[in-house]
Homo-oligomer: A and B are copies of this chain.
């Protein structure tokens, strides 16, 4: 049994705040600051350049990759950390296209996070004639997996509504029609039980500053299935993905397996913060986490619908079709969210009218959910965002 009261104690949340935006930026793990201080003083400060080997900095991208791999059902040794999610999307799609050289369409959906679409747009433009990024409505994806599709690139959980794709079914469909898959797990890793190996996923990418609590700008991760890992030749072929970086050869030779997806010098300070954050996941059973997440989300929906009739649910009602967030539509959602934040309930807003709330069982419990709805109810019933004192406070937040 995972003890969520114990995991909650691993975070220093500010007094008076109910934090429902861990799906955007996870909070500070209590242990992270001391770990970073120690790295800076004892490693960077005292070991200087020798820290790359002595303190193990150089091995961190794969070590952290494996820690994350355990949470997403990856085979050990096939996940590596580095760069940003945008860069990892580019790497994954470029490699996936190379595995499928006779086809030129990347299929995605209009609910995908924009940077994924932008990065592919840039990639295809530099690849020249004939390549196409085709985006369809999320519900229509399955119908558009034709034999033109080289790569199916999807984010499992929609950043606005929390709508969840069926990773296993869509991967099977894609494979049946000869397409390679790239899954973005930005809103999945640390939120859902995932089984990349069991789904036969080809590539997966994700960020570590949301549910994994790695801190603002924490590095991303990339997973490459074992059957592809030694075949792909990275488009972003940096020296730390070279077979022998310190031979300083003039020609690129890809490193073993997923190591070739490393590019430049990794961000050691951020990696140390992430490493500390990942300690909170030791012993957490992802199935238990998912159950708890569903309970919290279902409770929030029930309470809001009972007490705030002006809000209409934007997320799927069926938990099986939803990630770990709940969104409500409200025409004055921006102002209402500002009032909420002023009262200590931090969610966020996505245009045009979505109020978004993330539920993170590591540090959010039922008391938080009820407390948040109490305040939301007060704000909605009294249209508090229209009051002068809230308009003033909005500027502060």
Q: Mark A77-88, 1 if CB is under 8 A from B, else 0.
A: 000000111110
Interface stretch of the complex, out of A140-148, A263-271, A292-300, A313-321 = A263-271
Contacts of A242 in B (CB 8 A): 114, 118
Q: Is the CB of B127 within 8 A of A268?
A: no
Interface stretch of the complex, out of A172-180, A222-230, A248-256, A369-377 = A248-256
* Known contacts A32-B40, A40-B215, A126-B126; A263 and B24 CB within 8 A of each other: no
Contacts of A19 in B (CB 8 A): 48
In the complex, A72 has a CB within 8 A of chain B: no
Q: Is the CB of B36 within 8 A of A48?
A: no
Interface range for A: 35 or more
A245 to chain B, nearest CB (A): 8
Q: Is the CB of A45 within 8 A of B21?
A: no
In the complex, A49 has a CB within 8 A of chain B: yes
Chain copies in the assembled complex: 2
Q: Is the CB of B122 within 8 A of A252?
A: yes
Contacts of A114 in B (CB 8 A): 239, 242, 248-250
In the complex, A125 has a CB within 8 A of chain B: yes
In the complex, A90 has a CB within 8 A of chain B: yes
In the complex, A202 has a CB within 8 A of chain B: no
5 contacts between A and B (CB under 8 A): A115-B238, A118-B242, A125-B235, A135-B250, A269-B273
Q: Which A residues lie at the B interface, using CB under 8 A?
A: 12, 14, 17, 19, 21, 24-25, 27-28, 32-33, 36-37, 40-41, 44-46, 48-52, 54, 57, 83-87, 90, 94, 110, 113-115, 117-119, 121-123, 125-128, 135, 207, 209, 215-220, 233-240, 242, 246-252, 263-271, 273, 341, 346, 348, 350-351, 397
